[in-house]
Structure 1
């Protein structure tokens, strides 16, 4: 069965709670072609495994047929070189862009960059070097870096200086290859050094490299600072990448308190005025399980992307 027919059959399934069969069948004619979504949303592997199957390449093809034009894969560095290459080649054929993958051991509680210790910095720099090879295989331009935890026996300004120094050295490795490390402030633990968008903005200005920008994860920033649209505006010049997740729950848009339609519209208009584009990583779970949940997720993105321009 052709993937398009499979999608039509899937969207025509009756009896799905909260998902109307007829609107989905109608929408299918609007969004399988590339770039029908106004923004470049990037699902991750496993998000559509019930509809597309377990094979990663089949999942990529499903994403493309559904209208998504990018992918993000936090675990890309853990895949075999052969699979990294295959993913990159498939995305090129499908006209999809590669979003972020995480620089493993790039900075965590065990080797925080805030400590300024040589052995920790070397772990980070080695991660950057290996990330260059992975990025070449899968055509990636963005890698996620988290500096790690606070080093609480040091003044905050000294910790910030240590982080900036380490990131400058990482940028020197990545910049010749056109790769951007995007720094992600997180809400997972109060021990994490990087917490807010303005703090990340300050560090990016200190590093002063096109290869060091902000990963503005809206889910984490809603939890840590709120006031999402003003913070996007204030830090706009240093943002390199966005990630999505509603709060509470970290699921798709429309399942929590964040008005993603307004945020998407605001960013779209700013991008249009400046001729910029961003990848929007769908770093969240599915609100409902199974095929029903995957179809509902697609519906949520259709709804949130339906703002007027």
Structure 2
């Protein structure tokens, strides 16, 4: 991939897509295509076909998706399945039709069976039942992997798939109804401290183990894989270390400076008991993560505080500010 090659980053407004764009720009790539959902609805087959026919990108990072935490996944099950199937099907098919040289599809660690052995190896895919709460999203991501494999098998396309672990980072979603656990906890503890609350309630028993990776590390891995990985099988992208939800909550509590207590609501679902990726395949290629969880938490909390202060400043302004709706892509 040359610095002047035309590169399409699908989902550039999201946490992962924006991290990929920042990484590409920092490395000197200067021909990056980014379109918002207002300009291109990736669920619309005709619109996607016209885009690829007109733009003719050489490389595609497929980071566009409808994403969310356990509440969102379990509530909008049809939306998560339909939207993600349409997005990935349209992009992968028309990447093939327009002769894209290479495409990287980003899946998710939730593709693996709920009770698969840990750490999760790539070959565990489709070896057991999925976690119920995010089954529609997982099925859509599995379909994306299989699409990449099928277009490679039938048409010789160099389409690869990477399976990232749980992510956090700049430009994250802090909506408590749709966010993932880490940003949700950051917001909860921050608001509890500001409000002088005596306790913060978190879902489940606190026992589940999760692996967390900064989106900037994932972006670095994506560029590395685009340059160095050409295999048919998916590859895990993670840090190889996990932490319990209660340990994460304690870390965030200390970071934020909340002095109250943590209450566990065991009536709420835990999800998968443990989810950590086996990243030996990725390490064997020569790539490892750089940002520690403590360092990454500090970075995103500083961004969150800055964002909240900006929102308050806007709210107190006498001028009306129009906000763009969140893009599914």
Please give the TM-score of this superposition, normalised by the length of structure 2.
Answer: 0.32
Which is richer in helix?
1
Please give the TM-score of this superposition, normalised by the length of structure 1.
Answer: 0.33
